[in-house]
Amino acid sequence: MNKYEELMERKKEIMLKSVGIDYDKYEVGKLSFDYEKMMRDTGYALDQVIDIQREAGVGNTPLLELKNITKLARKVSKSGKAARILIKDESCNPSGSFKDRRASVSVYDAKMKGYKGVASATSGNYGAAVASQAAMRGLDCIIVQECYDSKKVGQPEILEKDRKCECYGAEVLRLTVGPELFYSFLKILDDTGFYNASLYSTYGVSGVESLGYEISMQCRERFGKDPEAVVITHAGGGNLTGTARGLIKAGASFTKVIGASVDLTGLHMASDIDFNRKSFTTGHTGFGIPFMTNPDRSDVPRSAARPLRYIDRYVTVPQGEVFYMTELLAQIEGLERGPAGNTSLTAAFVLAQEMEDEDIIVVQETEYTGAGKHVFPQLSFAKKNGIDIVIGNPKEEIPGKNIILPSHPSKVFVKDMDLYAYRKSYISNALKTLKDNFIEHVDVKFLMNETKLSEEEVLNILRVCGIEIE
């Protein structure tokens, strides 16, 4: 057995040691697990999470009304109506994004359990958040990033986040794109004994619940009601899961949870060729769809991010529209923010036009901006990689070929994705873990909860797949 095989053989042992969670105790039935018990076992109730976050300067961020963008949405709306668009300004968190909420609970837990340091595998804002929180708590920090293609060319946004991680004192391990990420991360956990501050742990996702809770409380205080809809940029699923759970805990049962991703159809995230032909490093379909239909592909045995449990609608937007909306936010609202949150802002601009003037739609996050996150370096980098930058109709955009900036705000659109197809795909992936063609009644209930499908719908899918109930 070579070193790679030996380490991978021990991954369950390493994960248990680095997170302190025995995932086996939640397993039930043939393919299911007790998700709510796993979430409860974090040991931190929502009020405790909020206290932990306040101590670290995280949360309680402002909810801003985008009056000029709302006015523009009404001007281009076919009905002349559009909901009031509000934005939760998460750039006010210590490292500049909502990811501080995820990192705060994990790093606090690491400190309480006596770990000397924390580690995380991420090329996104989460690395900076973990590094920031580790600095506050006096812990060492290692961030593992996929930064480059095989020619050692790095995407501007990733390099910007790399810089930020190092500013907070973290050690950054830079990798080229490929399958070695998980192995390298596992080896670091094994060698250092550090805490695995995973994006997908119960601690990380429970930290986002405060965000959904705050949105509801702030809307009630200002407008006397919950928002009709909250739009959430969707990638790995933790953002949507945590926010939705927070809304539920606030009692906002009628608020629609809408996921939004950048459309990168045709670009493979693990492809060396495609790696630098995309202008978005997160919040895109390359993460959003795989993690929706197979959430346990993450770096923990059972991911706490289960978006299909909560999502009511899923839309995608082209890259050019997000760049356009980023500039629009800056130039007519005076808010210069990074691209991730502006993915959901782009969707909200269109979705608001389907609603009434008195309705409220909330864009759930903003993020900081910086040298690599700006529109101009992103578009310049795209040009260097042979991407055509044009002004025109964004419906003609082809990921990896061109980026089309809308010629008029009326051309901004969203594409509705087939959630039922993703729910069926999730069930199909779950069935692949079976050793035979039988499941138990507890598994049927689990699949209903996981997919938000009725018992009849789940049973019909199982019949087509040739699965019997014991």
In a domain, 174, yes or no: no
What would the pLDDT profile of 17-55 be if each residue is shown by its tens digit? Answer: 898 888 999 999 999 999 999 999 999 999 999 999 999
In a domain, 342, yes or no: yes
Report how far Cα 370 is from the mean position of its chain's Cα atoms: 20
Q: Check whether residue 244 and residue 337 sit in a common domain.
A: yes
pLDDT surpassing 80 at residue 179? no
pLDDT surpassing 70 at residue 1? no
Task: At 116, list the tokens.
Answer: 């000397």
Q: Check whether residue 336 and residue 454 sit in a common domain.
A: no
3-class DSSP string for 259-318:
EEEECCCCCCCCCCCCCCCCCCCCCEHHHHHHHHHCHHHCCCCCCCCCHHHCCCEEEEEC
Q: Check whether residue 434 and residue 408 sit in a common domain.
A: no
Residue 437 belongs to domain spanning: 430-469
In a domain, 411, yes or no: yes
Q: Check whether residue 236 and residue 345 sit in a common domain.
A: yes
List C-alpha distances in Å: 132 to 13, 94, 156, 312.
28, 7, 21, 33
CATH of the domain at 90: 3.40.50.1100
For residue 23, give the DSSP letter: G
Q: Check whether residue 261 and residue 390 sit in a common domain.
A: yes
**Mean pLDDT for the chain?**
95
Residue from 232, 215, 228 nearest 344 by CA = 232
Q: Check whether residue 248 and residue 378 sit in a common domain.
A: yes
Give the residue from 416, 441, 459 where a domain finishes. Answer: 416
Percent of the chain beyond pLDDT 70? 100
Contact, 200 vs 303, CB < 8 A?
yes
Contact, 61 vs 214, CB < 8 A?
yes
Q: Check whether residue 391 and residue 457 sit in a common domain.
A: no
For residue 154, give the DSSP letter: B
In a domain, 101, yes or no: no
In a domain, 156, yes or no: no
In a domain, 85, yes or no: yes
pLDDT of residue 280: 85
pTM score of the predicted model: 0.96
Classified as helix, coil or strand, 254 is coil
Degrees (nearest 5) of the Cα angle 231, 232, 235? 150
Helix ranges, 294-413 (H): 319-333, 339-351, 375-384
In a domain, 294, yes or no: yes
When divided into structural domains, the chain yields a total of 2
Classified as helix, coil or strand, 64 is strand
Q: Check whether residue 458 and residue 337 sit in a common domain.
A: no
In a domain, 143, yes or no: no
Q: Check whether residue 252 and residue 387 sit in a common domain.
A: yes
Determine the average pLDDT of the residues in 434-457. Answer: 96
pLDDT of residue 20: 84
Q: Check whether residue 300 and residue 397 sit in a common domain.
A: yes
Q: Check whether residue 219 and residue 275 sit in a common domain.
A: yes
Q: Check whether residue 454 and residue 400 sit in a common domain.
A: no
The residues, ordered by sequence, that sit 6+ positions from 6 with a Cβ below 8 Å of its Cβ are none
Count of all residues that appear for the chain in the document: 470
